[in-house]
Amino acid sequence: MNVFLRTALTCFLLASACGAKDPIPKTWPLQFHAQSYQNNTAGEQSIIDLWYDHVNGRNLNIIQHQLGNKIWDVEWNNGTSYYFDLEHETCNRINFPVGILRPNFLEDAHYVGVRELDGFTCNVWEKEDFITYYEDVRTQRPVAWLFFTGMFMHIMTFEEGAVLSDPQWQAPSSCFENQSELKEPRRSPLLLPSEKLSSVDEPSSRWLRSLSRSRV
Ligand SMILES: *[C@@H]1O[C@H](CO)[C@@H](O)[C@H](O)[C@H]1NC(C)=O
Ligand SMILES: *[C@@H]1O[C@H](CO)[C@@H](O)[C@H](O)[C@H]1NC(C)=O
Ligand SMILES: *[C@@H]1O[C@H](CO)[C@@H](O)[C@H](O)[C@H]1NC(C)=O
């Protein structure tokens, strides 16, 4: 077989050998609902309903702690976030200098290769030593992401185009009675995973949000 034919054959069998570009994660749909299961490094389990709504500039995590409280984390693109507990009528307002995650926030992530996770064959990327993202090779749906602390979020359902109705985003009055607004810590929570804002007990979404700072 001559050199040309052999090269062509190798390229055909192994695209990466001939400079084919690494795959990039599928851009998030502009609106979706995902349910996820999470066990954090403290051994706590939670179910998170994620409602991503880029069209309306908002993102919501409803965090149900195992046999515990339920926290609503409403993030607006103008930088304001509300963390509230409807049952206990507590609320914190936090101001971020950045908006919500862009649908293509993973575009510049570093491709790691193919791995098996949760029974799926996944393409895997890392972004900023901070998040490892697993996407099903076959369907390109997210399977899980792993924070640098070892906390895994396993995506259980992924409904493209699902939108939560407007009233569900409304922060309760306790958010407006309390005039004190927490500022995002000057040092990135990315660097200080142990630093928790008072009564904001689920920093993972905040960490994720800090990724939106990085340019794509
Ligand atoms: C989460 O659960 C899995 C399976 O039980 C376990 O292997 C892993 O260590 C847990 N992660 C953390 C951060 O506790
Ligand atoms: C951002 O938008 C939300 C929802 O409309 C609103 O409650 C909040 O006050 C706004 N924040 C700022 C800083 O304008
Ligand atoms: C009011 O805000 C402060 C500071 O964010 C917080 O510590 C406190 O728990 C809040 N109070 C209520 C009733 O939510």
pLDDT tens per residue across span 7-41:
555 555 555 555 678 999 999 999 999 999 998 88
- Residues with a CB atom less than 6 Å from ligand 3: 90-92, 174, 178, 180, 182, 198-199
pLDDT tens figures, 176-214:
886 666 554 433 333 323 333 333 334 455 556 655 554
Spatial distance between the Cα atoms of 4 and 22, rounded to a whole number of angstroms: 24
**Long-range contacts for 108-116 (Cβ within 8 Å, ≥24 apart)?**
108/214, 108/216, 109/24, 109/25, 109/133, 111/22, 111/23, 111/24
The pLDDT value recorded for residue 130 is 87
Any ligand 2 atom below 6 A from CB of 76: yes
Residue 200 placed within a domain: yes
Residue closest by Cα to atom 14 of ligand 2: 78
Residue 24 placed within a domain: no
Residue 92 CA: nearest ligand 3 atom is: 5
Please tell me the number of the ligand nearest to residue 77's CA.
2
Residue 22 placed within a domain: no
Residue 5 placed within a domain: no
Please tell me the number of the ligand nearest to residue 90's CA.
3
Residue 119 placed within a domain: no
Residue with tokens 């998030």: 28
Cα–Cα separations (whole angstroms), residue 103 to 55, 84, 130, 212: 10, 25, 18, 10
For the chain, the domain total comes to 1
* Closest listed residue to residue 123, CA positions, set 26, 214, 207: 26
| pTM for this model (two decimals) | 0.78
pLDDT tens figures, 83-134:
999 999 899 888 888 889 999 999 999 999 999 999 999 999 999 888 999 9
Q: For residue 77, report the phi and psi dihedrals to the nearest 5 degrees.
A: -65, -20
Residue 147 placed within a domain: no
Domain span at residue 207 reads 31-109+157-211
Residue 171 CA: nearest ligand 2 atom is: 7
